[in-house]
A = this chain, B = another copy of it.
Amino acid sequence: MNDVIKLLTSHRSIRKFESREMPDGLLTELIRAGQGAATSSHIQAYSVMRVTDMAKREQLVELTGGQGYVASCSEFLVFCADMKRPLEAAERTGEEDVISGMTEQLLVATVDVSLVAQNVAIAAESEGLGICYIGGIRNNPQAVSDLLDLPTHVYPVFGMCIGYPAHDPDVKPRLPVEAVLKENHYSDDSEQVAAFDQTMQTYYQGRKGGNKDTDWSHNLTPLFTQKLRPHMREFLIEKGFKMQ
């Protein structure tokens, strides 16, 4: 296993950070590394909001459900799917009837920004930094958009905390490769899931920093017993991602 693959398999979310700034220029280097990711038709349908205004950071702590590390990390970024830039570029070529709001455009922009973010995460971890994705940015996406002046055709997909780790959590187990990698046709994986439930039960009982008595299946069930973030549909439509 080479050093890069070792790095990729040793990720864990960091939620406690040293009170320490990143050296000048490093954030730019991380974003450039992010931009190195593949992009659909070279469209680069993303923008990254760097939040340095501490009053805004504190508001983001509240808007993401009280996650204090959104304020205490060295850099907090909000990764946005951005169809505004390419749409307006197309308009500036003289094209009068540009088409927005397609479901495909939502997918393209969401994938584009995700690839960038994952490169930023890897780049940060390669520099000894820790990161945590903040999906909670979608708890209140309209308020986040208002706070950061996000225009139509731009939506906040997730946040990311970056900073120097002040704790050392375990790496969480993943589903067996045999469950997620399938050959030529989609095959049943319920046996591997049952085995993984055992793995996770053991993990949750023994892990550093907070034991609990559950397994993978029981842990994720609450995600499906409520309408999770039911505002997302209307929010996206309002933002011009009409899913047509």
| Chain B proximity of A95: nearest CB distance (Å) | 5
List A residues 7-42 near B (Cβ within 8 Å): 7-11, 13, 27-38, 40-42
Given contacts A108-B135, A118-B119, contact A224 B100 (CB under 8 A): yes
A105 within 8 A of B: yes
Contact of A4 among B87, B126, B185, B224 (CB under 8 A): B126
Q: How far is the CA of A218 from the CA of B92 in the complex (A)?
A: 9
Contacts of A5 in B (CB 8 A): 29-30, 33, 123, 126-127
**Which residue of chain B is the closest to A187 with respect to CB atoms?**
B149
Contact of A226 among B85, B99, B226 (CB under 8 A): B99
The interface size of chain A toward B, counting residues with CB under 8 Å, comes to 117
A61 within 8 A of B: no
Contact of A219 among B13, B36, B42 (CB under 8 A): B42
Contact of A2 among B88, B127, B181, B193 (CB under 8 A): B127
Q: How far is the CA of A100 from the CA of B224 in the complex (A)?
A: 7
| Chain B proximity of A8: nearest CB distance (Å) | 4
A103 within 8 A of B: yes
Contact of A44 among B28, B174, B230 (CB under 8 A): B174
> Besides A47-B180, A52-B183, A89-B193, 19 other CB < 8 A contacts?
A1-B29, A4-B123, A28-B181, A31-B181, A36-B174, A37-B118, A44-B180, A48-B182, A49-B182, A49-B184, A50-B181, A50-B184, A90-B224, A93-B218, A102-B227, A108-B135, A115-B118, A148-B185, A148-B186
